[in-house]
Amino acid sequence: MKRIHFNARRAFGIATLAVVLPISAFPADPSPESPIELVRRTVQREIATDNGAKAMFTDHKGTAQGSETKVVVETREGMAGMLVAINDHPLSAAQRQQEEGRLDGLVNNPESLKKKQRAEKEDEEHIARIMKALPDAFLYELEGTAVGSQELGKPGDQLVRLKFRPNPKYNPPSHVEQVLVGMQGYLLIDANQHRIAKIDGTLTKEVAFGWGILGHLDRGGHFLVEQAEVVPGDWEVTRMSLSLTGKELLFKSINVKSEEVFNNFQSVPSNLTFAQGVELLKKQEAELAENRQRP
């Protein structure tokens, strides 16, 4: 799983730390694999998949405070993102200058860029640990099938729907996986590609970390992540929804509620540097500004 910002590389990470689909009632034999075999093969594919493909896309995120729109590009040195609109209104000239200055600061400050890269790597490691735990943390039950679309899975592919609930025999090795013991929901797996098209999970009980000392997530928390093959061979997160409350270190409140949509994907060179990515973002913003000025 290449980007979880599942960030869309942080969707699973943020959600685990902090479409109505046409379902067939009586699937004949949606997959020759058993549910657990399908999950294991899919997790292995998600973790191993990194074909080096890079993309530029639009990230629209809505929260209780309003919305932000960014243009984001993946580079070999990490993700670069430029804010282009607030509450669907383009940035002012001063705001654009400030945003470009922020990105130039990363380009010209190797230590700041390394700090950003370390944070992204830590997110990725958390995601990998959660992904590896999926086959053992849950019990799975076949629930039906759906058909892939432009925004979900691969168009025309069969998506197998698996309901999951906590495995009472699972013993999480660390607080990173602890959240899984209180979660249930369903997965949509592209049976042809062995990729996760959707994961929808709800906390059915309060989940404490470090015996409650590190904090807890409240019952009722919900997260959703959707993926799709946006260009041939390249899967990206297309939607992410988070609704989580709780406490961090007993005192600090956790209140995350957001809806995020990723679209307008286009391929970029796989060897793109961070500095080159920033220049690409500036060019994209200039084109957007020019288009807005046209009658």
Strand, coil or helix: 101: helix
* Ramachandran bin of 81, using left for φ above 0, alpha for ψ from -120 to 50, beta for the remaining angles: beta
Count CB-CB contacts under 10 A for residue 290. 9
> Which pairs with CB-CB distance under 8 Å and at least 24 residues apart come from 263-267?
263/57, 263/58, 263/60, 263/238, 264/57, 264/58, 265/55, 265/56, 265/57, 265/230, 265/231, 265/234, 265/236, 266/55, 266/56, 266/57, 266/231, 267/53, 267/54, 267/55, 267/231, 267/234
CB under 8 Å to 278, separation ≥6 — which residues? 80, 82, 103, 104, 106, 107
User: What are phi and psi for residue 287, nearest 5 degrees?
Assistant: -65, -40
Q: To which residue do tokens 């309003």 refer?
A: 66
Token pair of 22 as six digits: 């046409």
What pLDDT score does 247 carry?
81
Spell out the domain ranges in the chain: 11-293
- What pLDDT, on a 0 to 100 scale, did the predictor assign at position 72? 96
Tokens of 216: 């807890």
What per-residue confidence (pLDDT) applies to 16? 44
- The one-digit pLDDT tens for each residue of the chain (295 residues) are 444 443 433 444 444 444 222 333 334 444 567 999 999 999 999 888 766 789 999 999 999 899 999 999 999 999 999 999 999 999 998 999 999 999 999 999 999 999 999 999 888 888 888 889 999 999 999 999 999 998 899 999 999 999 999 999 999 888 778 888 889 999 999 998 999 999 999 999 887 766 555 677 888 989 899 999 998 888 999 999 999 888 876 667 878 899 999 999 999 999 999 999 999 999 988 887 766 666 5
- Compute the distance between CA of residue 83 and CA of residue 92 in angstroms, rounded to an integer: 11
Prediction pTM value: 0.82
